[in-house]
Amino acid sequence: MKTNLTPPKTIRSRRAVSAPTAAKSKTVRKPALKTILAPTDFSSESRKAIRYATALAKSLGGQIVLLHVIEPTPYSGTLDDIPLLFTSDELKKSAQRELKTLCKEESIAPELLKSTHVRSGPACPEIVDEAKAIGADLIVIATHGQNALTRVIFGSTTERVVRHAKCPVLVVRENERDFIEM
């Protein structure tokens, strides 16, 4: 009797094995940041934050809203001690002019600028309320250099905005490098 000592043949498929289809169908999408709020106090730090906001709006197809908040200043004397130099309306008009100048100096393209707003009151609640009112998808805000004691005693507007805002907040630090467009 004859025995067959040949090993069984391995069946090989000629088609290539591919990765699961779910992995192929995923594409990286840009975040939908249509409205970006950029609060400013006209400082060099807040101008840097505005440059970040502008670059993000440009690359993601969004628009920015510039906001300046006129904060009440504590006064410990009587009104007779100093003359009233400005009314609230005059301060708001002056701030609007400064915002227009800022747009020119920072070369913000008109199609990227949705609007400019001026509000009066404590900065944090005004910024948070403005973000809600305009439906902001992101707030881009600067932080100023404060020493630890000042920050512990008074806190900072930026920290309070981060805690209370209902949308994401991008904080641009004082010594942050400039935004590089790709």
Domains in the chain and their CATH numbers? 31-72+87-172 (3.40.50.620)
Which residues have a Cβ under 8 Å from the Cβ of 173 and sit 6 or more positions away?
Answer: 142, 143
The pLDDT > 70 percentage for the chain reads 67
Q: What are the pLDDT digits (tens) for 91-122?
A: 999 999 999 999 999 999 999 999 999 999 99
Give the per-residue pLDDT at 182: 46
From the list 40, 29, 52, the residue with the least C-alpha distance to 170 is 52
φ, ψ of residue 65 in degrees (nearest 5)? -115, 120
- Regions of the chain where pLDDT drops below 50: 13, 182
φ/ψ bin of 42: left (φ > 0), alpha (ψ from -120 to 50), beta (otherwise): left
How much is the pTM?
0.74
The per-residue pLDDT for 110 is 95
